[in-house]
Amino acid sequence: MTREIKVYNTMSRQKEVFSPLEPGKVGIYVCGVTPYNDPHIGNARPFVTWDVIRRFFAKCGYAVRYIQNFTDVDDKIIRTANERGVTWKDVADQYIDAYFRVMDELNVRRADVYPRVSETIPEIIEMVQGLVDKGFAYELEGDVYYSVESFATYGKLSGRNLDDMMAGARVEVDERKKNPMDFALWKSAKPGEPYWESPWGKGRPGWHIECSTMSLKYLGKTFDFHGGGSDLIFPHHENEIAQSQAYCGGTDCFARYWVHNGFITIHGDKMSKSENNFFTVAEILEKYPGEVVRFFILQTHYRSPLDFSDERLKDAQAGLARLAKAKENLDALSAKNGDADTAAVLAESAEKAREAFFDAMADDFNTALAISHLFAVAKDVNVYYNEVVNHGQAFDAKNFARVRAAFDDMAEIVGILEKSAAKSDEDAEIDALVEERLAARKAKNWARADEIRDSLKARGIVLEDSATGTRWKRA
């Protein structure tokens, strides 16, 4: 907890030293998804990123409170529901389930709370009413709009001012609004739309307001981090700031650090639902394990664009396989006994690597650099494994435990190599074949040994011989 953590704050456009609102605690609000279709890989990036950030904070000793919303009342959800002849709730529930299924595969830990718009209506109405009362919002025939001109610092986060936005921009002109940039806090219900009773009649919340209300409800007037994709900077986060600070009555309240991740692109162009150039996480998971996808995302700094392709995923898979191999070796060695003093240097360099890993994470969550230190430990482990297992060097259990602790700390933050494989019937059969081959090799019956190896290979099983036995894995 004493480690200095630096964070790039979108608000100041520079790295700042993180100083928690309350010592030892971190409050995080990340904009979640609008559940109207299956999450694509671009949607997944912020959640994987924040999953690592929160794991890091936890490892540094902070008590983390992580809130992530579902915007389950929305035009697109309603439209989808009407097209399918089901309720908006059916649609939202379906895609919230899909979201969780996919995030579980990516090994993303659950948030502390997943508030939904539909469950936060009273608080939203209260906030909208408060904004009307304070003169920041006005009603128009059942709609309530936020008056951007009433908020002096509007545009601060995204670095724009109202004049710039007006010039050249062809915003839909609604003559009733005081300013074309005014946005809806509350929308009156049209036929066929879900609605809630309010002081302005039947209606539902506009976009933006839910995040202001939910963060206030679950994290308080002021909290540490607010995150999401860069495309949310404007207008979403800009509007949240306007709402929250107007409501709370001070420009020092609301989020203290704004953290925005870059986009996932495809052939260099932003992946987006509206461009229809996206891959859903689910379809990628048909070809690659979740941790490969996760690793792929984390090998690039979160603020950089990340180009998606099958080739990159394959690269990530190959790299992760090396770490997995080291983990296997780590496990195999950890099961051994031995009191020789052969791993002291190794332990020291592993702990040094862990320190470097934490330093990298503390510098604006540089997962790409951090992971390189994990590779360094992996290499050392593999070397030591060869010495002990294949060259008969005496084992040093005490110091090796330190290596393991360092490696596990790092892997846990990255969130990889955590699954433990359960033995299936097929596994047992393969074990038996491997045993038979081992016997054949002892008898120098190379023909039979190779026959078994080839037949397994045809099934996608690769064998690895060593001085002390044979291991196998699925390719």
- Stretch near RNA under the rule CB under 7 A, chosen from 26-34, 57-65, 115-123, 420-428: 26-34
- Stretch near RNA under the rule CB under 7 A, chosen from 117-125, 303-311, 400-408, 422-430: 303-311
466 binds RNA (CB under 7 A): yes
- 109-148 positions binding RNA, by CB under 7 A: none
Residue from 110, 446, 459, 469 binding RNA (CB under 7 A): 446
462 binds RNA (CB under 7 A): yes
State the minimum distance, in angstroms, from the CB of residue 28 to RNA.
Answer: 14
CA gap 267, 350 in Å, rounded: 38
**Helix or strand holding residue 370 (H, E):** helix 367-385
CA gap 227, 260 in Å, rounded: 6
6 binds RNA (CB under 7 A): no
CA gap 241, 202 in Å, rounded: 26
- Of 178, 313, 158, 140, the closest CA to residue 234 belongs to 158
- 217-276 positions binding RNA, by CB under 7 A: 228-236, 261-265, 268-274
CA gap 68, 111 in Å, rounded: 6
- 33-52 positions binding RNA, by CB under 7 A: 33-34, 42-43, 45-46
- Stretch near RNA under the rule CB under 7 A, chosen from 161-169, 196-204, 403-411, 414-422: 161-169
333 binds RNA (CB under 7 A): no
Residue from 314, 352, 397, 456 binding RNA (CB under 7 A): 314
**Helix or strand holding residue 101 (H, E):** helix 88-105
Residue from 109, 312, 352, 398 binding RNA (CB under 7 A): 312
- Give 173's DSSP letter: P
CA gap 68, 120 in Å, rounded: 13
State the minimum distance, in angstroms, from the CB of residue 78 to RNA.
Answer: 12
Instruction: Name residues whose C-beta falls within 8 Å of residue 168's C-beta, 6 or more positions apart in sequence.
Output: none
Give the nearer residue to RNA in terms of CB position, either 156 or 217: 156
- Of 309, 284, 312, the closest CA to residue 44 belongs to 284
Residue from 11, 26, 28, 31 binding RNA (CB under 7 A): 31
* Cα–Cα distance list, 141 to 12, 189, 199 (Å): 39, 11, 12
Give the nearer residue to RNA in terms of CB position, either 25 or 351: 351
- 85-104 positions binding RNA, by CB under 7 A: none
- 170-189 positions binding RNA, by CB under 7 A: 171
- Of 147, 120, 117, 122, the closest CA to residue 246 belongs to 147
Give the nearer residue to RNA in terms of CB position, either 205 or 228: 228
User: What torsion do the CA atoms of 131, 135, 136, 139 make, to the nearest 10 degrees?
Assistant: 80
Cβ neighbour number for residue 171 with a 10 Å cutoff: 11
Give the nearer residue to RNA in terms of CB position, either 25 or 101: 101
How many residues bind RNA, per CB under 7 A? Answer: 84
CA gap 384, 346 in Å, rounded: 8
352 binds RNA (CB under 7 A): no
434 binds RNA (CB under 7 A): no
Give the nearer residue to RNA in terms of CB position, either 247 or 365: 365
Residue from 204, 299, 347, 403 binding RNA (CB under 7 A): 299
Question: Hey, what amino acid is at 322?
Answer: R
449 binds RNA (CB under 7 A): yes
Q: State how far Cα 277 lies from the chain centre.
A: 21
306 binds RNA (CB under 7 A): yes
- 367-386 positions binding RNA, by CB under 7 A: 368-369, 371-372, 375-376, 378-379, 382-383, 385-386
Give the nearer residue to RNA in terms of CB position, either 25 or 349: 349
State the minimum distance, in angstroms, from the CB of residue 419 to RNA.
Answer: 19
388 binds RNA (CB under 7 A): no
Give the nearer residue to RNA in terms of CB position, either 75 or 126: 75
Residue from 93, 305, 397, 412 binding RNA (CB under 7 A): 305
Instruction: Name residues whose C-beta falls within 8 Å of residue 162's C-beta, 6 or more positions apart in sequence.
Output: 148, 149, 154, 155, 179, 181
Residue from 251, 304, 334, 468 binding RNA (CB under 7 A): 304
CA gap 312, 292 in Å, rounded: 10
CA gap 430, 448 in Å, rounded: 15
Q: Which pair of structure tokens corresponds to residue 43?
A: 């949607």
State the minimum distance, in angstroms, from the CB of residue 267 to RNA.
Answer: 8
Burial, 73: exposed, middle or buried (Cβ in 10 Å; 0-12, 13-18, 19+)? buried
CA gap 319, 356 in Å, rounded: 20
